[in-house]
């Protein structure tokens, strides 16, 4: 995780600028899907600069984590209510300091496409640990598309996103869910065959 932390410390001042075209054209329409039907004690894992904050459910008490202090400093400005309540934390998603069953649900937005392959299962297991039995984990992630043209475009983009974000289209998080002891409830594409929304349940 040290290389990821260094990367996001470096990119934090420019992150919102780089993401702005995608935020306008794609992400702003997807963020409400992440939180649909969720409430209670909610964890936002990988909060980044806080783009999700405007979409948090009114009936949720949200805590949010990120590994990067530089990203969190921007999240504090965008998420004043969460910040004022002292619920923004610098934490590694693979080793969180929360007690077991602390949350009713958890979300992660484009976090697992950043995590390297060897951290996929540990991160899923850790989310499963902090969410109560029967609770949901919702993930929004990029995947490698099947369509020939989109697949070619992602190949061309891969060096840039790997350098800038440490991300990949080939993490295959969905396949790791059973290995982490969790249950896949729903998997559906929300942008062509490029972005998937996964809903996962912690076994009761």
pLDDT at 42: 98
pLDDT at 166: 85
pLDDT at 2: 72
pLDDT at 53: 97
pLDDT at 101: 98
pLDDT grade for 130, boundaries at 50, 70 and 90: very high
pLDDT grade for 105, boundaries at 50, 70 and 90: very high
**Helix H segments across the chain?**
2-22, 28-35, 69-78, 80-84, 117-130, 148-165, 173-176
* CA distance readout (Å), 179 to 2, 26, 123: 25, 31, 12
Distance of alpha carbon 33 from alpha carbon 145, whole angstroms: 20
Its domain, for residue 165, covers 2-201
pLDDT tens-digit readout, 106-116:
999 999 999 99
pLDDT grade for 1, boundaries at 50, 70 and 90: low
pLDDT over 90 (residue 119): yes
**How many CB atoms are located within 10 Å of the residue 125 CB?**
15
Contact 195, 150 (CB under 8 A): no
Contact 59, 84 (CB under 8 A): no
pLDDT tens-digit readout, 32-64:
999 999 999 999 999 999 999 999 999 999 999
Contact 41, 104 (CB under 8 A): yes
Average pLDDT (160-164) is 83
pLDDT over 90 (residue 186): yes
pLDDT over 90 (residue 4): no
pLDDT grade for 95, boundaries at 50, 70 and 90: very high
Could you tell me what percent of the chain has a pLDDT over 70? 100
Domain count for the chain, please give it: 1
CATH of the domain at 35: 3.40.50.150
pLDDT at 194: 94
Order of all β-strands in the sheet with 88-90: 88-90, 60-66, 40-45, 103-109, 131-142, 195-201, 183-191
Measured torsion, CA atoms of residues 27, 28, 32, 33, in degrees rounded to the nearest 10 = -30
Residue whose tokens read 């297991």: 125
pLDDT tens-digit readout, 68-83:
999 999 999 999 999 9
List the structure tokens of 29: 């329409």
Positive or negative: CA dihedral 193, 195, 197, 200: positive
pLDDT over 90 (residue 162): no
Q: Are strands 88-90 and 60-66 parallel, antiparallel or unpaired?
A: parallel
């Amino acid at each position: 995780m040290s290389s990821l932390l260094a990367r996001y410390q470096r990119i934090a001042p420019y992150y919102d600028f780089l993401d702005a075209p995608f935020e306008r054209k794609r992400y702003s329409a997807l963020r409400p899907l992440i939180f649909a039907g969720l409430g209670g004690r909610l964890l936002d894992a990988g909060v980044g600069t806080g783009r999700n904050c405007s979409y948090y459910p009114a009936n949720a008490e949200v805590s949010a984590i990120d590994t990067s202090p530089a990203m969190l400093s921007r999240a504090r400005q965008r998420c004043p209510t969460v910040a004022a309540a002292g619920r923004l934390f610098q934490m590694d998603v693979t080793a969180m300091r929360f007690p077991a069953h602390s949350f009713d649900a958890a979300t992660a937005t484009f976090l697992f496409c950043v995590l390297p392959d060897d951290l996929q299962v540990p991160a899923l297991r850790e989310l499963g640990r902090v969410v109560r039995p029967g609770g949901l984990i919702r993930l929004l992630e990029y995947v490698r598309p099947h369509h020939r043209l989109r697949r070619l475009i992602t190949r061309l983009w891969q060096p840039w996103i790997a350098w800038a974000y440490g991300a990949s289209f080939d993490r295959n998080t969905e396949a790791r869910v059973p290995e982490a002891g969790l249950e896949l409830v729903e998997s559906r594409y929300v942008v062509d065959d490029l972005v998937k929304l996964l809903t996962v349940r912690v076994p009761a």
